[in-house]
Amino acid sequence: MFKRRTPKSWALWALHMIWPKGGWGRAFGYVKHRVRRLPDAPDRIARGVFAGVFTTFTPFYGFHFFIAAFMAKVMRGNMLAALMATFFGNPLTYLPIGVVSLKTGHFLLGTEFEPNMNIGRRFAGAWRDLKDNFMAMFTDDVAHWDRLSGFYDEVFFPYMIGGLIPGVIVGTIAYYISAPLIAAYQNRRKGRIKEKLEEIRARKAAKKSDDTHAQ
């Protein structure tokens, strides 16, 4: 009853992961709308936003939701806001986030950043090593750690260290932008609800007065 008439193909699903239906502008607008309407204190929601944005600067792809939720719990922020704020990391922003984090990390560690480094290929190579070495546990194959070791030294560890500073900076900016905006939105919403309630009371009072006069 609620299924799509035409099943979504894998190619279409992958395309929507890179470019959502309606575009990223519409997707961001939806997330912003949902964050503003969360039933919580603006400061708690803003702390959740900080946690979600900060998490996108970590190299733990696939675990951002869990890390953001954990950080929000520790910071006493709104978990749902943290989960939605992880959409700051998306196919359009992951490349600049990765480059900034890697450059910062290599600078702090005193190592050299390779401008022509293919980050995606390094991630894929590390995953292949993990998969092949796991299978080697049950076969006669020999485990090889070259790609995983190189990935850790050249990508993962510098990324993890280097993402801390830009993550805190961008997360703090997101916090100080979102807190007053959410507070203003909630105040306007409360004002509109109060006006509607007053209109309802006024109508009831007028109707009661008319009924009294009619009697």
> pLDDT value at position 147?
78
> pLDDT value at position 116?
75
- pLDDT score of 3 more than 70: no
> pLDDT value at position 28?
54
Q: Which residue has the tokens 């990765």?
A: 98
Averaged over 48-58, what is the pLDDT?
A: 94
pTM comes to 0.72
Chain segment 99-138, per-residue pLDDT in tens:
899 999 999 999 888 877 777 777 777 778 778 777 878 7
> Cα-atom radius of gyration of the chain, to the nearest Å?
25
> pLDDT value at position 69?
92
165 confidence band (pLDDT: 50, 70, 90): very high
CA dihedral 161, 163, 168, 174 (to 10 degrees): -170
Chain segment 54-105, per-residue pLDDT in tens:
999 999 988 999 999 999 999 999 888 898 889 888 878 888 998 899 999 9
Cα–Cα dist 32/178, whole Å:
10
Residue 103, both tokens: 């450059």
- Residue of higher predicted confidence among 3 and 213: 213
DSSP the chain: --S-SSPPPHHHHHHHHHS-TTHHHHHHHHHHHHHHT-SS-HHHHHHHHHHHHHHTTSS-TT-HHHHHHHHHHHTT--HHHHHHHGGGSSTTTHHHHHHHHHHHHHHHHT----TT--HHHHHHHHHHHHHHHHHHTTSSPPP--HHHHHHIIIIIHHHHHHTHHHHHHHHHHHHHHHHHHHHHHHHHHHHHHHHHHHHHHHHHHHHHHHHHHH-
Cα–Cα dist 112/104, whole Å:
10
Chain segment 4-38, per-residue pLDDT in tens:
555 555 444 444 444 455 554 555 565 555 665 66
> pLDDT value at position 123?
76
